[in-house]
Amino acid sequence: MTTETDRPTRQGRSLLANSALLSTTAVAVSAANYLLNVALARMLPPDEFGDVSLVVNMVLAGSLVAATLQLVASRATAATPAARDRIRVLLVRAALAVGAVTFLCLAGGARLLADWLSASTPWLFVVLGLGLPVYFVQAVHRGILQGELRFSRLALSYGTEALIRVGVTLALIAAGFGVLGASIGVAASFIASGLVARVKPTGTGASHVGIDLGLRSAVLGATVLLVGQTVVNTADLLIAKARFDPTTAGVYAAAALVGRALVFVSAAVLSSVFPVLARDEIAEVERRRALRSGLVLVAAVGLVGTVAVGVLGHLLVSVAFGPGYAGAEPLLVPYALATALFALANLLAAAEVARRRIAAAVALAAGALVQTGVLTLWGSTPGALVWLQVGAMAATLVAVAVTRLFALRRIDAEL
């Protein structure tokens, strides 16, 4: 028989096991997407590869909507398990509504977008527009899986997405479909992973159960947090592309690609910790223990990653990119360090969002905006860009930690 004293130990082991499972999947998915980009760069001429990059960037923009839906679904399901079917219906309807508007904008304006962005064909916007509604719906189902702690199924959906995207994209491009084949591969991966992630209604008849999730605060907190994440992950690349010559910007992008591998692993830890923190029936001491475990894991990943790129940076750059990217080597350690600091701040802010508090998310978003301003003013060289990010992310981590500390002190005082 399981005793009360056994539960904390078993929960800690479960957290580690879930983090290990999702971390392994995240690393595999990240590796698959990275290798796909390398393969496409070799298979396509530069102008068509630029269109592929455009598709990837549009998917990243759509991921802001998808991640918001997933976080809200996860928070709602974890907080009110009995209302899971109502949550599913409401959020799927919202996802379909947003997806329909997105499709109409992309498909209706495909020709204008193709002319404005110098795309080779307007059909890539139509195909992507068809895939994004499925992407948004699958985000809702993934959030429910996350909220119910069904990590094996969640990991399988991510793995399926990567496998189908790589297989279909490479096959269609080899058959001569070019960038349109890449767009079809992306859309097909959304459909396949959506089928894997799909959760069926339980049919328990609990439609009368209220949804005690604070949807407004959940949506607001998640949106603020994800805006901050998006700014941090894109601003420096845009500044580098606008400020440096193409070769230097490409070298910087290579360093960023290596450094941001840490984000995928730390995101897996967040996926495991977030629903635990969101569950109201779990004691505060257990939530804090789960957060500490997550912070230790993320810090360990950051430390190991930073040391690894410091020791193996030359080998990594030469094998993955070639001798033309040797200038990326000095950027790897500070970029990895800045990424590790961001991952810690992001986990702390997400922990506050899970408890329906948004102050830490606002601090993270403010830090992202300040970093963008600092990089714009003083990031005159690639080295300056990465070291300024280290300073900005260190300050952001302190601000987020202080914000959370004040929130906890208020909670303790109320208790």
Residue pLDDT, tens place only, 76-128: 787 777 777 888 888 888 888 888 888 888 888 888 877 765 667 788 888 88
Whether residue 339 has pLDDT greater than 80 = yes
In a domain, 102, yes or no: yes
Query: Quick one: 400 and 352 in the same domain?
Result: yes
Query: Quick one: 192 and 229 in the same domain?
Result: no
Query: Quick one: 221 and 280 in the same domain?
Result: yes
Query: Quick one: 233 and 180 in the same domain?
Result: no
In a domain, 328, yes or no: yes
**Contact criterion met (CB below 8 Å) for 77 and 84:** yes
Q: What is the pLDDT of residue 7?
A: 46
Query: Quick one: 124 and 250 in the same domain?
Result: no
Q: Torsions phi, psi of 322, nearest 5?
A: 105, 170
Q: 34 versus 296: which is more confidently predicted?
A: 296
- Tokens 């109409």 found at: 104
Among 213, 235, 250, identify where a domain stops.
Answer: 213
372 pLDDT tier (thresholds 50, 70, 90): very high
Domain count for the chain: 2
Query: Quick one: 134 and 64 in the same domain?
Result: yes
Q: How far apart are CA 233 and CA 228, in angstroms?
A: 9
Cβ count within 10 A of residue 242: 9
The CA distances from residue 165 to 25, 37, 139, in Å, are 15, 11, 17
In a domain, 341, yes or no: yes
Q: How far apart are CA 149 and CA 145, in angstroms?
A: 6
Query: Quick one: 91 and 127 in the same domain?
Result: yes
Query: Quick one: 115 and 209 in the same domain?
Result: yes
What is the span of the domain harbouring residue 361?
A: 215-415
Rounded to two decimals, what is the model's pTM?
Answer: 0.67
* pLDDT, tens digit (0-9, with 9 covering 90-100), for 266-320: 776 776 777 677 776 677 777 778 888 888 888 998 899 899 988 988 887 777 6
